[in-house]
Amino acid sequence: MEYTGKMTDKNLTIMKELVLLGFSDLPNFQGFLFGIILVIYICILLGNGLIIVITNVERALQTPMYFFLGNLSFVEICYTSVTIPRMLKNLWSQKRNISLLSCAVQLCFFLILAVTESFLLAVMAYDRYMAICKPLYYPLIMNHKMCIQMVIGSWVTGIPVIMGQTYQVFSVPFCGSNKLNHVFCDMPPLMKLACGHSSGNEFFIFIDCLLFALIPFLLILFSYTRILSTILKLPSITGRSKAFSTCSSHLMVVCLFYISGFIAYLQSMSSYSGRIDKFFSLFYIIVTPMVNPTIYSLRNKDFNRAMRKLFLK
């Protein structure tokens, strides 16, 4: 599993694989956690899968808003599938070893999908901004071609940077303990295992957070500031209520995703706490994808009607 190399005249143990500690500090709850996470994963697959099906087969939902919602559900299925099956395997078998290559692949795909979701949430906010603030231009600007280009842009924008960042993280040798105090391969706990100074990687992590999380979040904030200003000017109470209802679901999802992500990623590497980071990471890999379908379905009358129609058929 290990071999000994020499670096800067010091003998260092360089790992070929890591051990994901996960919930090993709760030995009496392994079976219970496996059952709970398995049920949640099934709910994520069924809930988001239902959104994808309904938004594709129901003609009344063939609009940009539901097109983006279907893509968001697909992204959430993908990025939970990158992390949760491995988590379930570790809980079931109690074998937590993971090779550096598998860890790098998991980290790379997870970050790419998280960045895609971040941009998709910003695109959805822009769609609501155009629909409410510029309704006359909405059909011209948010046409099918533009929607497809926005989705493709959300997928591909972060890929080169994330792949380069992943390569940089794993090009630094890991030494000392090979125990990764986390539920999956994530950036902050990996940096704790890196040999020597990791200030360069910390700086690039900060830049990534700025580019792929903070900027989309600020765009969302700007969009909803303009939306709120426009809604308050509407003369009809019914119109204001409908506009608020349309936007509130998206805002709730945005808050869940970004708040947990910011707390987990923007804390300093020196103050990294495995327990706290594991807690918040569960929000954006488990809780958010699970509650998103519920938020959108319960608070959206058009979606409820389409769902009832599909089930009646």
Residue 177: is its pLDDT beyond 80?
A: no
Q: For residue 269, is pLDDT > 70?
A: no
Predicted pLDDT at 61: 85
Report how many domains make up the chain.
1
Domain residue limits at 157:
2-312
Q: Assign residue 237 the CATH number of its domain.
A: 1.20.1070.10
Per-residue H/E/C for the chain: CEEEEEECCEEEEEECEEEECCCCCCHHHHHHHHHHHHHHHHHHHHHHHHHHHHHHHCHHHCCHHHHHHHHHHHHHHHHHHHHHHHHHHHHHHCCCEEEHHHHHHHHHHHHHHHHHHHHHHHHHHHHHHHHHHCCCCHHHHCCHHHHHHHHHHHHHCCHHHHHHHHHHHHHCCECCCCEECCCCCCHHHHHHHECCCCHHHHHHHHHHHHHHHHHHHHHHHHHHHHHHHHHHCCCCHHHHHHHHHHHHHHHHHHHHHHHHHHHHHCCCHHHCCHHHHHHHHHHHHHHHHHHHHHHHHHCCHHHHHHHHHHHHC
Q: Quick one: pLDDT band at residue 7, thresholds 50, 70, 90?
A: very low
Average pLDDT over all residues of the chain: 82
Rounded Cα distance between 303 and 296, Å, is 8
- Identify which has the larger pLDDT, 304 or 271: 304
The arithmetic mean of pLDDT across residues 53-67, rounded, is: 88
191-213 pLDDT per residue, tens: 877 776 556 666 767 777 777 88
The residue-averaged pLDDT of 148-173 equals 89
